[in-house]
Amino acid sequence: MRVHEWLSEIPWSKGIFDTLDINKTRSQLEKVLERILKFLAIFRVV
């Protein structure tokens, strides 16, 4: 497949922000941060 064929198949009309849910993303990032902080707290105690 050539580059121009590949580029022509990309759905250019659909942007990333059309499917991005800010509240869901923030919630997931808060969960990750909480797990990291728990890990660091346990690591520091040991």
Q: Is residue 15 part of a domain?
A: no
What rounded mean pLDDT belongs to the chain?
78
27 domain residue, yes or no: yes
The structure tokens listed for 7 are: 């580029």
* Structural domain of 31: 20-46
Question: Is residue 13 one of the residues assigned to a domain?
Answer: no
Tokens of 38: 């728990």
Q: Read off the pLDDT of residues 11-30 as tens digits, 9 standing for 90 and up.
A: 666 666 556 677 788 888 99
Does residue 35 lie in a domain region?
Answer: yes
Give the count of domains, the chain: 1
pLDDT band at 3 (very low <50, low <70, confident <90, very high): confident
Q: Rounded mean pLDDT of 26-35?
A: 90
pLDDT band at 8; cut points 50, 70, 90: confident
36 part of a folded domain: yes
According to the model, what pLDDT value does residue 34 have?
93
